[in-house]
Amino acid sequence: MGLPEVLEAMEAACRRAGRDPREVRLVAVTKGRSVEEIREKVLRYGSFPLGESRVQEALKKMEVLKAEWHLIGPLQRNKAKFAPRFALIHSLDSLRLAEALDRVGEKAGMRLKVLVEVNLGREPRKHGFLEEELPEALARIREMEHLSVLGLMTVPPIGPEAVVRPIFRRLSELADRYGLPERSMGMSDDFPIAIEEGATLVRVGRALFVD
């Protein structure tokens, strides 16, 4: 596919849903990709947020690439101290992590921007809060002075449109319910469906780098 084709597909999905394409941002997932690949396949086309799943890999790339960095993978509490290096944490998946990030934000003198991860597929191996845990979790996280909750994130079960579309739709409904503007959902195989259901951030990696 490639980045130009991904952007075209994003615009087409917005048109189908009657949305303004400016409402949706592409987060280029650069996990496992070299600096050279990122420059050639992503940054030559403009400035895009870069998403990494692992803190250590992101820190190495930050040394040579100036970009808006997002952390999209699970964050271990012992690496929470690196959170201020990221413009947005997509994967706040527990109250213990929220407390750790709040302390980091206090020490850094800043409010860390976060998305709360929701495990709508109820998959045991996936991270995130269950839907019924969300009201209490959001209430507690919103009380933390050094966290700014911008929205929700989810990773649906692998499956056809009939599986993923209801998950995306539900995340948008929950974001609306709690007055949260950002919805991080959709990856290489399903980002058009996510956009049709209200995604504001799509996390695309493989489709950008496959010739």
Alpha-carbon torsion (162, 26, 33, 46), positive or negative: positive
Half-sphere exposure of 62 (CA within 13 A, CB side): 18
| Model confidence pLDDT, tens digit, residues 86-107 | 999 999 999 999 999 999 999 9
Report the predicted TM-score, pTM, of the whole model to 2 decimal places.
Answer: 0.97
Instruction: Please state which architecture CATH assigns to domain 3-73+85-208.
Output: Alpha-Beta Barrel (3.20)
- Residue percentage of the chain with pLDDT more than 90: 98
- Residue percentage of the chain with pLDDT more than 70: 100
Q: What average pLDDT score do residues 168-193 get?
A: 98
What is the per-residue pLDDT for 183? Answer: 98
| Model confidence pLDDT, tens digit, residues 75-88 | 999 999 999 999 99
What is the per-residue pLDDT for 31? Answer: 96
Distance CA 24, CA 26 (A): 7
What is residue 194's DSSP assignment? H
Q: What are the boundaries of each domain within the chain?
A: 3-73+85-208
Closest CA to 208 of 16, 44, 24, 12: 44
| Model confidence pLDDT, tens digit, residues 5-57 | 999 999 999 999 999 999 999 999 999 999 999 999 999 999 999 999 999 99
Kindly tell me if the per-residue pLDDT of 138 is higher than 80: yes
Kindly tell me if the per-residue pLDDT of 61 is higher than 70: yes
Closest CA to 186 of 90, 77, 106, 96: 90
155 neighbors 125 (Cβ within 8 angstroms): no
What is residue 64's DSSP assignment? T
Q: What average pLDDT score do residues 180-193 get?
A: 98
Kindly tell me if the per-residue pLDDT of 211 is higher than 70: no
What is the per-residue pLDDT for 1? Answer: 87
- Report helix, strand or coil for 49: coil
